[in-house]
Amino acid sequence: MSFLRRILTPLAVAALVAGAAVAQTPPVPPRPAAVPRPVVPAMPVPPPPEVDGQSWVLMDYATGQILASKNPDERRAPASLTKVMTDYVVSAEIANGRIHDKDQVTISEHAWRSGGGSTDGSTSFLKLGSQVELDDLLKGMIVQSGNDAAIALAEHTAGSEDAFANLMNAYAKQLGMTNTHYSNASGYPVDDHYSTARDIAILSRALIHDFPADYAISKIKEFEWNGIKQQNRNALLWRDPAVDGIKTGHTAAAGFCLAASAAHGDERMIAVVMGASTDKGRADAAIALLNYGFRFYETHKLYDASKPLATPKLWKGEANQLPIGVAENVLVTVKTGQYDKLKATMDIPATLIAPFKKGQQVGTLRITLDGQPIQNVPLVALNEAPQGGFFSRLWDSILLWFHGSKKADAPAPAAASSTK
């Protein structure tokens, strides 16, 4: 045993030296070189504007970061913002092939009586017993905010509005909406029906990302059905061409609510306002928040998907190294002028033993701003990494006697860019 140890010691030392090199973690590199310009003081970033609303959030679409908020997790009646989830569920069920946008939907007595023209709520004036194409019902629900259209869609999708509400709650849980519970498809006020500004922003982001074609309905300014033309209640569609959604809501209990989104180039912001005092107040609040986000925040792409960020030693594998990276581009949104305060480190176990599946999480990329954590991103294996042959595994088993199991940081890559 002593003879074997004397022979293997130089190899073991080499392996440990290689592991030590992986532990060095340089900071996030400076932004790409630009044309020299005079040095000016950093632009101060003011606090968010004071706006009308009991609770609100401003979210960056690309990263999902909440940039500013007031009472973001306060449970409130969502009114017709409920229909954003109804839209999401119907779109998901269409994508899954369980229903189709050209389906003919029969308008039931429940849909007609609870959401039709005889009520004092928003309606598409659907006729009892008539058949309406599902795609037209979506327009009626989103553009006209028709309660009858929402109920008809729910019944067609799940068999009953109660069953559809269960489906809504299942999707809410899947999306991470932790302070939301739905009891109906329209937003009719009942005690056990609530959401939050944060959750509605999460839902709005998912709708834009997952179903962009259905989301595009929310920028239609008017829709005519049954001889009655109604305008979209989102006043921002007329005030700012960058705004392309999302949904309004109002009841006495909820106040005036608005989920709005706008895009400037590659950047998109989402603002959710709940409990404003007037129709104008909710629109003014949302546009003020959106403009604040575009003016004082910037989004940077730090790392590209599927490009190796580290190639640590792989033990007992066919290959000697395991390329590790991120599954999706890593974006971060920060206040203007704070890019240089970003730092990224990668936590990867010092001992990686095959096999690994492509896409399997291996470690974690941690991003901090001025010492405060802002994102943790999974680091994954970029290739399949099967086990090596018997003798190579045996040889690595011997070498592992001399290799510690201490965790180490992998070096950060040398690339960063801004979307502005």
pLDDT of residue 163: 98
- Co-location of 155 and 124 in the same domain: yes
Pair 97, 191 in one domain: yes
- Give, for all 420 residues of the chain, the pLDDT tens digit: 433 333 333 323 233 333 333 433 434 545 555 455 555 556 678 999 999 999 999 999 999 999 999 999 999 999 999 999 999 999 999 999 999 999 999 999 999 999 987 787 899 999 999 999 999 999 999 999 999 999 999 999 999 999 999 999 999 999 999 999 999 999 999 999 999 999 999 999 999 999 999 999 999 999 999 899 999 999 999 999 999 999 999 999 999 999 999 999 989 999 999 999 999 999 999 999 999 999 999 998 899 998 999 999 897 888 998 999 999 999 999 998 888 889 999 999 988 888 999 999 999 999 999 888 989 999 999 999 888 778 677 676 777 777 654 444 434 433 444 444
What is the number of other CB atoms lying within 10 angstroms of the CB of residue 161? Answer: 24
Within-domain flag for 70: yes
Q: In this structure, is residue 50 part of a structural domain?
A: no
Whether the upstream peptide bond of residue 32 has omega within 30° of 0, thus cis, is no
Give the burial string for 269-296 (b: 16+ CB within 10 Å, else e). Answer: bbbbbbbbeeeebbbbbbbbbbbbbbeb
Q: Are residues 244 and 383 in the same domain?
A: no
The conformation of residue 122, written as its DSSP 8-state character, comes to: -
Task: For residue 282, give Cα distances in angstroms to 86, 186, 314, 322.
Answer: 22, 20, 56, 52
Contact indicator for 55, 70 with CB cutoff of 8 Å: yes
Same domain, 221 and 272: yes
| CA–CA distances in Å: residue 187 to residues 31, 178, 249 | 46, 18, 8
The verdict on 194 and 325 lying in the same domain is: no
Six token digits for residue 54: 């009991």
Identify whether residues 25 and 119 lie together within a single domain: no
Q: Is residue 329 part of a domain?
A: yes
In this structure, the answer to whether residues 319 and 203 fall within a common structural domain is: no
d(CA 55, CA 29): 38
Determine whether 114 is an active site residue: no
User: By C-alpha distance, which of 28, 3, 15, 57 is closest to 293?
Assistant: 57
> Alpha-carbon distance 159 to 131, whole Å?
16
Q: Using CA atoms, how far apart are residues 189 and 293, in angstroms rounded to an integer? A: 32
Q: What is the CATH number of the domain that holds 259?
A: 3.40.710.10
The answer to whether residues 392 and 320 touch, using CB atoms and an 8 Å cutoff, is no
Residue 293 lies in a domain: no
Specify if 4 maps to a domain: no
Residue 202 lies in a domain: yes
Last residue of a domain, one of 277, 312, 335: 277
The enclosing domain of 391 has a CATH number of 2.60.410.10
Q: Which two tokens stand for residue 383?
A: 């290739």
pLDDT at 47: 94
Considering the candidates 69, 108, 114, 145, report the single residue annotated as catalytic.
145
Number of H helices and number of E strands within the chain?
11, 19
- CA–CA separation, 190 vs 415, rounded Å? 52
In a domain, 287, yes or no: no
pLDDT at 387: 81
Q: What are the backbone angles phi and psi of residue 360, rounded to the nearest 5°? A: -70, 135
The count of domains in the chain is: 2
* H or E element in which residue 397 lies: helix 390-399
Please give the pLDDT value at position 164. Answer: 98
- 271 and 338: one domain? no
Task: Determine whether 83 is an active site residue.
Answer: yes
- Predicted confidence at residue 298, as pLDDT, reads 92
Are 27 and 62 contained in the same domain? Answer: no
The dihedral built from the CA positions of residue 173, 121, 151 and 245, taken in this order, carries a sign that is negative
Among candidate residues 55, 69, 80, 195, the one labeled active-site is 80
One domain, residues 169 and 311: no
Q: Which of 212, 243, 277 is the last residue of a domain?
A: 277
Among residues 262, 277, 292, the one where a domain terminates is: 277
Give the whole-angstrom CA distance, residue 35 versus residue 343: 24
Q: Determine whether 218 is an active site residue.
A: no
Residue 405's pLDDT is what?
Answer: 42
Tell me the backbone φ, ψ of residue 155, rounded to 5 degrees.
-65, -40
CA distances from 14 to 8, 11, 17, 215, 404 (A): 10, 5, 5, 57, 13
Q: Which domain holds residue 325?
A: 10-33+301-418
Please check whether residues 194 and 159 belong to one and the same domain: yes
Phi and psi for 74 in degrees, rounded to 5? -75, 125
In a domain, 45, yes or no: no
Same domain, 88 and 189: yes
Among candidate residues 55, 69, 83, 91, the one labeled active-site is: 83
